[in-house]
Amino acid sequence: ELVAAKLDALRALARLHLQEGDVNALRDAVLQGEALGGPDAFAYERALLHAVTGEAEQANAALNRYLDAHRDDLEAITFFATLQIGAGDIQAVRAETLPRLKVAVEAKAKDAGRAVADPRDQYFLHIVTAQVGLAEGNLKAARDAFLDALKTRPDVEAVRNSILELDLRIDDRVAAGVHAEEFLSYDPTLPFANYAMGSNALLDNRPEDAVVYLRRAAVRDPRMPYAPAAYNDLAEAYRRLGRWDDAIAAAEEAAVLSPALAIAYETAATAYLGKGDLEGAQRAIDRAFAVFQENAPGQPVDPRFILTRAKLCAAQGKPDEAKLNLLELRPRYNDLDPAARAEYDALAKDLDLF
């Protein structure tokens, strides 16, 4: 009993280290568990360790060894499906693993004397269904499955983040706003939900509201994979409020977090331009174009870059070059957001372009 208690404690410790992303501590816990109970006693935790260190084959082997002895472990079956999806074997998940998971969920309900499965167990079915939808590019189906999962486990922040991320990828701003507002009612500090609300406020040209939300989203936090975008949006909100130095600082932080985020340099350029620092604006917009071309060769440049270059040319006393940039941008006018279109119209009027 003492050995079993120690193994349980080590398993709990291993899961904690996994959540914290501390691979070395996870490895230490696995090694201690294996030394105490043997390899089979810690096969699942060994599989987790292999997975986080990118050793897919070893993870698969360890997990199969574990499932041979624990065929109805819902979490382990879900993890197995994740490995299959990562290997591109989606058909096997649909044909074998999802049915196996469903049988295990029903068996667990029967053993407990329940006619209907526990919602906390159904959660695993929804998660695998969502992962299949993502792998197949069916974003709406994936979001629906994550929403079903959230109903069974409303405490899982990763699921809430996945829903919001899919809202944004689908470009469903209404749903993003509704979901973010709901999630913030539970925890006002949630970075991803604040990001969704701030981005919506920015698109509606409400920079004061955007700053309130985006300051909570622009954090270096493992829960916030969109931190560079949040810093960039915060910079844009500051720019619209005329807070040039704050805008430059936020844009530069976005670029530090993600040097390939070309839009961050463009945002910095607009802030330098507003501040009257034309040299700084030129350096930043040149960098924006260069980074974009490095990371998206052959792709049409973001229309905001061209607009900023036009504004800079006008500020430098080069009206003809500014007009050429506006004419280049004209066919993509509708690709600009409302605030950028207003800037285009104002500059075109100042230059007597039309």
What pLDDT is attached to residue 223? 63
Percent of the chain with pLDDT over 70: 99
- The average pLDDT across 83-93 equals 87
Percent of the chain with pLDDT over 90: 63
CA proximity to 5, closest of 36, 29, 35: 36
What pLDDT is attached to residue 296? 92
CA 330 to chain centre: 32
- The average pLDDT across 330-351 equals 94
Average pLDDT, the chain: 91
Structural contact between residues 268 and 249, judged by C-beta atoms closer than 8 angstroms: no
328 or 7: which leads in pLDDT: 328
Q: 1-10, 73-82, 239-248: which has the highest mean pLDDT? A: 239-248
**In this model, does residue 174 exceed pLDDT 90?**
yes
What pLDDT is attached to residue 137? 95
What pLDDT is attached to residue 307? 97
Residue 156 — left, alpha, or beta (φ > 0 → left; ψ -120 to 50 → alpha)?
Answer: beta
Q: Which of 15-24, 76-85, 239-248 has the lowest mean pLDDT?
A: 15-24
What pLDDT is attached to residue 222? 65
What pLDDT is attached to residue 323? 97
**In this model, does residue 263 exceed pLDDT 90?**
yes
CA proximity to 193, closest of 222, 213, 170, 171: 213
pLDDT tens per residue across span 222-231: 667 789 999 9
What are phi and psi for residue 280, nearest 5 degrees?
Answer: -60, -40
pLDDT tens per residue across span 9-20: 988 888 788 777
**In this model, does residue 347 exceed pLDDT 90?**
yes
- The average pLDDT across 168-173 equals 92
pLDDT band of residue 193 (cuts 50, 70, 90) is: very high
The two three-digit tokens of residue 152, written as one number = 């069974």
